[in-house]
Structure 1
Amino acid sequence: MLKNKIAQLREILVSQATLVEKMLAKSIKGLLENNKAVLDEIISIDEKTVNRMEIQIDELCTNILALYHPEAKDLRMTLMMSKMTSDLERLGDCVVNIAESGIEILQSPIMYSYDDLNIMAEEAIEMVRDSIRAFIDEHAQLAKDVCRRDEKVDGLRDKIMRELIIIVFDEPKTIEKALHILRIANNLEKIADVSTNIAEETVFITDGFTIKHHAHDALDQSAARG
Structure 2
Amino acid sequence: MRDKILINASDMFLNYGFKSVTMDDIANKIGISKKTIYQHFDNKTKLVEATTLYMFEVISHGIDCICALNKSPIDEIFEIKKFTMEHLKDEKSSPQHQLQKYYPKIFEKLKTNQFCIMQDCVTNNLTRGVKEGYYRDSINIEFISRLYFNSMMLLKDPEIFPLNNISMKKLMDNYLEYHIRGISTEKGITKLNNILNTK
TM-score, scaled to structure 1: 0.32
What is the TM-score when the length of structure 2 is the normalising length?
Answer: 0.35
Q: Which is helix-richer, 1 or 2?
A: 1
